[in-house]
Amino acid sequence: MTVDDNIATEGDDDLTGTGGADVIHGLSGDDIIDGFSGNDMLFGQGGNDILFGSGGDDELDGGSGADILSGGSGADTLIGGLGNDDLSGGANDDVLQGGVGFDTLTGDTGTDILFGGNGNDILDGGNGNDTLFGGNQSDDLFGGLGDDILDGGQGSDFLLGEDGNDILFGGQSGDHLDGGTGDDVLFGGLGNDTLLGGSGNDILYGGLAGTVAGVGDHLDGGQGNDILVLRRSDDGTGGTGLDEFHIQASASDPLVDTSGNERLAEIMDFNGAEDTLTIDYDPLDYPVAPTVSVSITGTDANIFVGLEWIAVVHNAPGLTTADITVAPNYDLDQG
């Protein structure tokens, strides 16, 4: 049925807009609404609805129920509302908002912005330089093609940058971040996170330190010339390439956990012929550059800042203070 503006119906309806700017309300029932061409506003309201924006710059609101929203061509805004919804932006630059429920959001082509909202959501940017926000609970975020920004938000999230030079923020809780291909920047944030740079020249920040010895962030640069920034309880593997390891020394990080165990940063694969090691200290804690010393236990090199044991470099029996740079860093809460 072809409808004019502001037609409200009850029951399970199949509605198609005109060539103009239509406003169509599905009301209750499982409705199929196609805005046709024009800049349309489609409201599914109650029921499990299917909304097609088709041509034009459209606004689609699923309302309550498990809805399917497709923007089509044009710069569209899609709002899932209540229920487990499936949103697809289509061509052009779209904004997708999942709302409450376990939603699936796909940006497709264009520079898209995706908000997962409440629920365990799946967000896929598709082609283009997209921005993805997971929101509350545990979400899966996929950047797709392009240079994307992924923010997991709350919950234990999975973030995959895929192709392009991406920026990934784990947010709160223990997250899994994988940059994929390209030169990526990964921030673990709060929680015990896993950061994988993938291929490319990547920068990995573990984030705030874990409070239990040996239970912090795991950083793996993968292929390429990577920069790994570790705090106490983190461990880092540079992978192949010429890698830079930074260990942050801050008085705000407790030396031991509640069981009395030393909280140490660990470097797993330091190669003195290829890699560099820097101790970053907070000038507010150390008005004068601290003294760094090294002691060898078996094949491991133990690093001390003053009297504080802060790190161990495994399989590096030849490491000396000549291999270590000491540098001030005012921003030791990065990540």
Instruction: Tell me the pLDDT tens digit for each residue of 234-251.
Output: 999 999 999 999 999 876
Q: Give Cα 59 distance to the centre of its chain.
A: 27
Question: For 202-214, how does the pLDDT look when each residue is reduced to its tens digit (9 = 90+)?
Answer: 999 988 755 555 5
Separation between Cα atoms, residue 327 and residue 48, nearest integer Å: 59
Distances (CA, A) of 145 to 5, 106, 152, 201: 38, 12, 18, 18
Separation between Cα atoms, residue 280 and residue 284, nearest integer Å: 12
pTM value is 0.92
User: What average pLDDT does this structure show over 82-87?
Assistant: 97
Q: Is the distance from CB of 189 to CB of 205 less than 8 angstroms?
A: no
| Residue 329 CB-density burial (10 A; 0-12 exposed, 13-18 middle, 19+ buried) | middle
- In sequence order, the β-bridge partners of residue 219 are 195, 236
Q: Give the long-range contacts of residues 13-18, CB within 8 A, separation 24 or more.
A: 17/42
Q: Is the distance from CB of 175 to CB of 159 less than 8 angstroms?
A: yes
List Cβ neighbours of 331 (8 Å cut-off, separation of 6 or more): none
Question: For 294-313, how does the pLDDT look when each residue is reduced to its tens digit (9 = 90+)?
Answer: 999 999 999 999 888 999 99
Cβ atoms within 10 A of the Cβ of 241, count? 19
The DSSP output letter for 213 is T
Angle CA(115)–CA(118)–CA(124) in degrees, nearest 5?
40
Confidence band (pLDDT; 50, 70, 90) for 335? very low
Q: Which pair of structure tokens corresponds to residue 309? A: 């044991």
Distances (CA, A) of 250 to 20, 49, 310: 62, 54, 10
Question: For 60-82, how does the pLDDT look when each residue is reduced to its tens digit (9 = 90+)?
Answer: 999 999 999 999 999 999 999 99
| Cα torsion 255, 259, 265, 266: sign | positive
Mean pLDDT computed over every residue of the chain? 91
- In sequence order, the β-bridge partners of residue 104 are 86, 122
pLDDT value of position 296? 97
| Amino acid occupying residue 95 | V
DSSP 138-182: --EEE--SSS-EEE--SSS-EEE--SSS-EEE--SSS-EEE--SS
Confidence band (pLDDT; 50, 70, 90) for 9? low
How do strand 300-305 and strand 308-313 relate by DSSP bridges? antiparallel
Residue whose structure tokens are 């003053």: 306
Q: Which pair of structure tokens corresponds to residue 95? A: 């904004």
Cβ atoms within 10 A of the Cβ of 266, count? 20
